[in-house]
Amino acid sequence: MSDQPTMSRPAGLPDRVTIYEVGPRDGLQNESGIVPVAAKAQFIQRLLAAGLPVVEATSFVHPRWVPQLADAGELMELLIAGDLGDTGRDLPVLVPNERGLDRALELGCRHVAIFGSATETFAQRNLNRSLDEQFAMFEPTVVRAREAGMDVRAYVSMCFGDPWEGVVPVEQVVAVGKRLFDLGASQLSLGDTIGVGTAGHVNALLTAFNDAGLSDDVLAVHFHDTYGQALANAHAALQHGVTTFDASAGGLGGCPYAESATGNLATEDLVWLLHGLGIETGVDLGALVSTSAWMAGVLERPSPSRVVNALVPAQ
C-alpha cells in the first residue's frame, strides 16, 4: 500500500494552503480521561516537527466547563520553558472572555481566538449569553488583545445547522460572522459544528460572505465529519478559493456542548487530499501519521482517521 497519494493537479486551485491544527485544543477537549500535561506538550511539539504551520495549543476556559483544559497555564509554561522557548508564545490559544485574556497576557501569548455562536440556543448553552450579548462580552476582549499587539482569530460555530434550532439561515450566519470579524479579528473560521453541511451549502455560505465584503483570504473553514461530508466540503471550499483549513490530527474532537458533534476533519485525510491535488502544505505526512498513532496509544483507542488506519493498521 502506498504511503503517499498519486498526484494529479487540476487547474484553478491554489498552489498552497495553510492547515490550522486544532487537535491539542479542540481535539482533546472532549476526551473524558485527562491527558497528562507532558503528553499534551509532546503532542504539540511533534505536530510542529511534522510541519504543521499553526498549532492551537489550548484554551483558557474555566476548568469547571472543560476539565481537560484545566492545565492550560501549566502547558503553556512547559512549552515556553522547553525546546520551543519564546516561539511557544506564538501558539494560538482560545480565550472565552477577558479573564481568559488576562491569563494569555500574563504568559506573553501573541495569538488568541474567540469563539462565538451563529445561533441563539448555542450562545446560551455555550456562553451563557444571548446571541446579541455575546458581542458585548467579546468586544473588550478583542480591543484589549489588539491594544497589546496580539493577533485575534474569531470562530463562529453552528454555521450550517444547530441541533436545537435546525437549519441556520445563511444570512444569519453572515450577520453574526461579520460582526465578530469587525470587532478586530484578522481571520474568521466558519464552523460546521455538528457536521451537517454539504458542498453546495458550503459554496453558498462562502459566496454570501464574499458578497458581504469578506474575501476568501480572511475566511477559514472548520468541518466535522458526522455525516462523512468533511472532505467533500473541504474540496468545495478549496474550489471556491479558501486557503486556510482547520483540522485535527487523527480526527480527534467534538464539542462538549453539542453531543451530536463528532470528530473534526482528520488532518491526515485532508493532507492526503491536498497532496493528491498537488497543493503544498509543508506537512510531512509520515511524521503526522506517526504522531496521531502515538496519540491514539495515549488515549488507548484507535484513531478515527482513515489515512492513519490505512497506513498504521495495527495501532
Which residues are part of the catalytic machinery?
255
Q: How far is CA 90 from CA 16, 56, 57, 79, in A?
A: 21, 9, 10, 11
State phi, psi for 166 to the nearest 5 degrees: 80, -140
Query: What's the CA gap between 293 and 314, in Å, rounded?
Result: 9
Tracing cell 465584503 back to the chain, one arrives at: 213
Q: How far is CA 160 from CA 39, 203, 237, 247, 248, in A?
A: 34, 11, 14, 17, 19
**187-192/219-223 β-pairing:** parallel
Half-sphere exposure of 60 (CA within 13 A, CB side): 25
CB atoms within 10 A of CB 313: 9
Tracing cell 468586544 back to the chain, one arrives at: 139
> E strands, 141-208, where?
151-157, 187-192
Element (H, E) at 116: strand 111-117
Tracing cell 478549496 back to the chain, one arrives at: 238
Half-sphere exposure of 12 (CA within 13 A, CB side): 7
